[in-house]
Structure 1
């Protein structure tokens, strides 16, 4: 019932207000009538009307009229219904029965007599309201009845809650043995269940084995072999999937398992789209009401490598630097090496090997070009222009069919020919390198020396052999001496000097041995020393590790091509033997330090 009243809060003595209004109106009419008699102007009555309206508004403001309406609303009470929408409810038409029952309950409670009317609020198995439209199919993977009821009571605590009805098959797969904690609830809880299947109660699926390669290439498809076992129960349909975290990493595969004890191997196509070290999880699930899920998953590690680094190495003749460097790059699993050797014997220039022309088609899948000790005439002017344009571009040209993620870098190695008068000094290549070639005089030093890192070089990733700074510095100070170096006049402005010859000076500065710089969007580097092979040969003869040589060249190639994986890779990987655990169960944690 709605009651409304109009009151004037500013009026306390009504008769006095009526007397004052009557007297004032009469006086105002008499006054304006006299004015009309004297002036005979009809506009006088307009002024009287305006004055009357203004005074009336003032009187209304002083009277403070208030409109008061009262509406008596009675909360009929709320009945909460928890609908189990987990996958196990799809068996034997249970979910459709539950939907029909809830619809009938709504019509009865909300459209009945006023004394028996209740608001019916429906929630899913996670305790979230579902509104008027019930979920079409049961899709929840876990059934936690205690949490669902607790969440519902918490959300309706400010309402008149007369009871909670739980519509479920009772298959709580959280590992909880009972629901005694619900007995302490002050709200009545009612259960609506279904006849249980004894065979389904014995159903137990196990993901017993996962076979996967340890390393794969990014954006390449690989096979993961998953073995699924069933110890008992009726024939069921199961779904096998592979996840990374909470995201699906491959298309799920459906497998049919026969009645009783059985085992089946499933092949899943996995195509990782991101490089790095990851832990994947293989899962098996079924909508057939399996209670125990502890053995339904297994973790497996997988290292996903980026696309192979394309390296084109062109050398003038067969020398030790070429022999050992080629072997090092060939042994690196992340590098795809293409080599071209001008001649096998420097004293027999007429004997030449197969030639690789530098063309846009050849450079399409190349990240780094290495030019060894060769004469300038080995490459044509067109090849020089193609190479310089490729470096300046910096990244792959998608329109030309190249990989947009590929970088473009150039490394030039020292030698009698490449840095001599018949070398690159007379070619357009000299413009894009980070050093100025020596114009005349001595161009090669054969004095042995130990490479000395500059301040920038000591911090540069290509020289980081050991994690400890002091140990790293000691390894370079005690490295085998190099047998000479090509000489350059100086480093160009903007270039970064990484290493020098401590015993030679050029332009009153220590002679540059390793320098790097930018040309356009690409990276360039020169290594004037041509005997880095001694870092591996001398160490091996002495029965020591040649990690300095192998790591230097691996890290140099990766840094030049933007593939510094050591910086991007997590130093520690933490994983567990299972994706989830029951309360009170032991947890196994595995911590791995990356090499």
Structure 2
């Protein structure tokens, strides 16, 4: 029967919209139709001429069909549908115009955008028949929705797909107009973060169905995609950066590809990697060394294969901000001259990112200052005020007696770590009289008095003929293997090998057990206390800062007993000092809400301002100077965020791709030796979000249609949509009953059956 019925009639029948206008109860109607063949069979039991069973069955069938068709017509069959008066209502057509519409994954390697344009605007496109019944408003959408009037306005250039926002904007623009339905043509990929089902339900509540059309393949069959790149300074005097790359692929399992990092036209790093199984994602690492002190925009490139469908995600730009920065200020205090002090100072002097100001006791009442900025720095000994101490980001303590500090200075030291957010390292032997002071609270190990220790652990590193004074090779713990401050090479296996080749140390100071929140990075290979290996290097967070305990004073052996060109000792100490100091907050810090942006994104900038006591300053006056990639400069005032002390915010739109530089000027921080300006940079890169995970999300489109009372169609079914919209219920649809009994096809069927019956009876000589 479907051969004779149009699609809308068949759909009405499937949806239960078919009925008989003159029909009795449905059960009685069914009995009548079932009884007709029985009555006809009874009439053909006796015939004027004998008939074979086959002829009798044929004649019974023909007469039964004729009777059933006549009964069908007499009961007046009707279908109930919905229609709108032509040109009295509106229809919105939303077309995805984001970059994913450039993907050539349709038949004949056609781009999605081109196929959509043909389905809409070609001679047999759907807009022409829809325009005969509705006032059609066509919109293209990506991050925003806009009216279009032709295929040439579909650019597929938007770097975002925001389904919910597109639906909301269309609803606002057509608000108050009699809107019958919405047609949404997209691949269903939404990267706005808002749930489009909310808007779909709102349309459904207003009886405006959304008919969705899916475009593209569910999975891109052949593609290599850069999904994430992160770069952070790690080792080698802050001049090497570890670049971590995530690659996802499908269709190239086990193939080798070349990763390249480009600085303009110059290749600065490369590596050949092996791709994983189809559908998998793997992480790879490269090292780069910036050659100039400024923000540098690098581009990561992956080899392109001829079979690849998407090539845009084989490149990724990222920013490494290698601008000049003030050195980290570190205060070193030691109770007597030691080999450790000499070699630690050498390591720090070779790193321009560090300034080591030292206060060394050379004899009773005699002290020696080095690395000071002014003649008054440390002239009165260890700082006694927060203003003097807080100018440093970290403090290193050597062998110091308890009498060196007053109770007030120890409390100030505790505030330095917990409140100011500085770092503290105690290296060597700790006077056990510190066990009952706040210094014991700060450290990652629990200091105990020597008399509490077993005899074989007493004495510390001063007794060379004691068990605690013997040579030992410290053992890396699992946490130490991956700790940034102990990395000698970015490769894990090489790092373990290099640590195994380090010279032995001599002497360890045994203290109590590590605290519950501490991380032990190095431990003694033999000595134990309370069934736990004696820690050699341990770290922990303390308040806003961090602390470290190094229970040996012989790391200088790593320098003296290694080849002269080996810099392992210097590297470890530089990384450790930077680890201590780098998280200490500055007076002014700048933060962005994202690591990178795409063109057209909103950039949210926040500045945190601290006063001289490193308390939040809510009375500052801030201005943000922005320099875009074209060199244009603009000033924007920053407003205090009343919900966060010391935090000021501003925002603007990133209109151009490239490096943006911002400078925050803080008027209230003016004063001698206090930095009143802070600079930062961020990058606006070409977007990859439209090319990664770019397969058709038919599930999302189906849920949008279902939530609104519409239907989902694949792209080849789009022509069916024209009839379905016309006969779908809506806020402005009228219920219409359409008769079927007078349809030409039904009369033709009746005539054909009667003719066949007449010819069969004439052939057999029946009356």
Per the TM superposition, whether the score is higher than 0.5 is no
- If asked which structure has higher relative contact order (CA below 8 Å, sep 6+), I would say 2
User: TM-score, normalised on structure 1?
Assistant: 0.41
Instruction: Kindly name which structure, 1 or 2, has the bigger radius of gyration based on alpha carbons.
Output: 1
User: TM-score, normalised on structure 2?
Assistant: 0.32
